[in-house]
């Protein structure tokens, strides 16, 4: 067994599906609080798969986490559970501190106690894999080299500060207690099951719903983009052969300005689902007020994971973004399911002006 936290979210559910797609895979216990971002529909194909056990709960709940560890005896924990959206962290940072900092702290302490009780090979082989973000490194100028694992932490948003704090806790648990951890810091993911508050799914669905495509500021902010399936394969690789106490940057070698991303999505949609008036979806692009403290550029140097573990992304941006747009076109029932009242309230709060 492995314990996955946050496995009903975007990356976590892709990871669980990917993991269980191999018939020889170990089972998964999936602990998720089912916040607005958690969606069990993502895991519907596992409904009759006895290798997947879902537990509804909070990583910050000590007695629940202890019980799961004692009942299922996982040989590894992969921690995806987090509040993950920068804009929401600006509106309300408290949940980010609660889950990303206090929740990770609780998970670490429960896991350490469990690991201490193990013996022999079980103790030797146990892993705590913490899934983190490149945003902990702060913002780059256009001429700066890409983030390496040795870059200092300079988080700028409540989200990235809370993730940075969690990374520091994980690091300290290794150095102080010898607790067997590995951290990965990944760039922006995109792909199936992505909640449409983030740029790529928001733009695809707004385009199809004849709504404005909101570009913050001048749209020249740069992110490195990685197809979610590649993130999953990197985590598998690190879990299998990463060095304890190490951190690995994961990225797509794929820096793009936001405006270019949005134009690419528009041209794929123009081809796959042309507008009835024959005009391009790019007509819907609308420049809106910039995000406060908006980081200008992120870029990942993924040389270490390539050299040491032999991992490279399989998708290019062209292949990954096309698959992604196609997925949203082919899954209207999933899309309908996320258009709940709370999602509409968020759009109103964030984009009203
Ligand atoms: P997400 O917001 O889609 O999913 C988060 C999941 O965690 C949800 O299912 C939610 O219900 C669950 N959750 C939240 N609080 C919880 C709690 N207290 N206890 C248990 N479950 C809880 O996020 P995501 O995009 O899938 O990101 C997953 C992880 O990867 C996060 O740690 C994030 O920081 C990291 N990450 C994300 C990206 C990205 O581009 N999305 C990039 C790099 C790293
Ligand atoms: P996002 O998907 O929220 O990820 P992150 O902030 O973690 O990088 O945003 C990606 C980029 O797109 C970021 O520079 C902010 C920008 N953006 C917009 O321009 N408009 C939008 O409506 C959203 C959600 C994001």
In a domain, 96, yes or no: yes
Helices 258-272 & 199-208 angle (0-180, nearest 10): 40
pLDDT at 253: 96
Query: CB–CB of 231/186 below 8 Å?
Result: yes
Q: Residue 42 has which token pair?
A: 């993502």
pLDDT band at 352 (very low <50, low <70, confident <90, very high): confident
Query: CB–CB of 247/149 below 8 Å?
Result: yes
Q: What is the mean pLDDT of the chain?
A: 97
pLDDT band at 204 (very low <50, low <70, confident <90, very high): very high
Closest ligand 2 atom, CA of 188?
8
- Of 191, 216, 255, which is best to mutate to test ligand 2, by the most ligand atoms within 8 angstroms of its C-beta? 216
Domain count, the chain: 1
Count CB atoms within 10 A of the CB of residue 341.
Answer: 7
pLDDT at 230: 98
* Residue range of the domain that includes 91: 2-191+225-253+294-314
Closest ligand 1 atom, CA of 134?
43
DSSP string covering 317-330, please? HHHHHHHHHHHHHH
| pLDDT digits 0-9 by tens, 6-15 | 999 999 999 9
In a domain, 214, yes or no: no
Predicted TM-score (pTM) of the model is 0.98
pLDDT > 90? residue 23: no
pLDDT > 90? residue 284: yes
In a domain, 206, yes or no: no
In a domain, 353, yes or no: no
Query: CB–CB of 101/162 below 8 Å?
Result: yes
**Closest ligand to residue 217's CA:** 2
In a domain, 285, yes or no: no
In a domain, 209, yes or no: no
Instruction: Write out the H or E segment, with its range, that includes residue 82.
Output: none
| Chain-centre distance for alpha carbon 95 | 17
Q: Assess whether the C-beta atom of 216 lies below 6 angstroms from ligand 2.
A: yes
- Measured CA to CA, the distance from residue 251 to residue 320 in angstroms comes to 14
Q: From the candidates 114, 159, 227, 328, give the one annotated as an active-site residue.
A: 159
Q: Assess whether the C-beta atom of 42 lies below 6 angstroms from ligand 1.
A: no
pLDDT > 90? residue 267: yes
Q: Assess whether the C-beta atom of 258 lies below 6 angstroms from ligand 1.
A: no
Q: Decide which of 345 and 136 is more confident.
A: 136
135: annotated active-site residue: yes
In a domain, 47, yes or no: yes
Q: Assess whether the C-beta atom of 30 lies below 6 angstroms from ligand 1.
A: no
pLDDT at 202: 98
Query: What mean pLDDT is predicted for residues 265-280?
Result: 97
The CATH number of residue 21's host domain is 3.40.50.720
Q: Find the angle CA(249)-CA(193)-CA(82) to the nearest 5 degrees.
A: 55
Q: From the candidates 32, 58, 83, 135, give the one annotated as an active-site residue.
A: 135
pLDDT at 333: 94
| pLDDT digits 0-9 by tens, 90-126 | 999 999 999 999 999 999 999 999 999 999 999 999 9
pLDDT at 178: 98
Nearest Cα residue to atom 4 of ligand 2: 198
Query: What mean pLDDT is predicted for residues 322-338?
Result: 97
Inter-CA distances, 145 with 134, 148, 151, 298, 299, Å: 14, 8, 10, 10, 8
Residue 7 alpha carbon to ligand 1 centre in Å: 8
Q: Residue 201 has which token pair?
A: 């799914």
Q: What percent of the chain has pLDDT over 70?
A: 100
pLDDT > 80? residue 353: no
Instruction: Output the CA torsion 249→255→261→267 (10° steps).
Output: -120
159: annotated active-site residue: yes
Q: What's the helix, strand, coil split of the chain in %, to 5?
A: 50, 15, 35
pLDDT at 340: 86
Query: CB–CB of 83/35 below 8 Å?
Result: yes
List the one residue out of 177, 188, 133 whose CA is nearest residue 156.
Answer: 133
Q: Assess whether the C-beta atom of 89 lies below 6 angstroms from ligand 2.
A: no
pLDDT at 16: 98
In a domain, 179, yes or no: yes
């Amino acid at each position: 067994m492995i314990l996955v936290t946050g496995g009903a979210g975007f990356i976590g559910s892709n990871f669980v599906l990917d993991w269980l797609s191999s018939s020889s895979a170990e089972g998964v216990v999936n602990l998720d609080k089912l916040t607005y971002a958690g969606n069990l529909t993502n895991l519907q194909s596992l409904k009759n798969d006895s290798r997947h056990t879902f537990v509804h709960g909070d990583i910050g709940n000590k007695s629940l986490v202890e019980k799961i560890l004692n009942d299922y005896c996982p040989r590894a924990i992969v921690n995806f559970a987090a509040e993950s959206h920068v804009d929401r962290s600006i509106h309300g940072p408290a949940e980010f501190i609660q889950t990303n900092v206090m929740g990770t702290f609780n998970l670490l302490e429960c896991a350490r106690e469990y690991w201490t009780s193990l013996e022999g090979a079980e103790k030797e082989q146990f892993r705590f894999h913490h899934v983190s973000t490149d945003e902990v490194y702060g913002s780059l100028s256009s001429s700066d080299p890409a983030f390496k694992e040795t870059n200092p932490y300079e988080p700028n948003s409540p989200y990235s500060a809370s993730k940075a704090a969690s990374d520091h806790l994980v690091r300290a648990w290794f150095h102080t207690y010898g607790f067997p951890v590995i951290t990965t810091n990944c760039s922006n993911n995109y792909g199936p099951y992505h909640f449409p508050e983030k740029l790529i799914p928001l733009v695809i669905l707004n385009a199809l719903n004849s709504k404005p495509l909101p570009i913050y500021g001048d749209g020249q902010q740069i992110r490195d983009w990685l197809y979610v399936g590649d993130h999953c394969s990197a985590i598998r690789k690190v879990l299998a052969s990463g060095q304890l106490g190490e951190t690995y940057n994961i990225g797509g070698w794929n820096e793009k300005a936001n405006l270019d991303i949005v134009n690419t999505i528009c041209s794929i949609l123009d081809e796959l689902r042309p507008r009835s008036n024959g005009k391009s979806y790019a007509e819907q692009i609308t420049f809106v007020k910039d995000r406060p403290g908006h980081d200008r550029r992120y870029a990942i140097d993924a040389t270490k994971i390539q050299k040491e573990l032999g991992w490279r992304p399989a998708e290019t941006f062209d292949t990954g973004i096309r698959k992604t747009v196609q997925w949203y076109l082919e899954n209207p029932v999933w899309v309908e399911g996320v258009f709940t009242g709370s999602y509409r309230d968020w759009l109103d709060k964030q984009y009203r002006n």
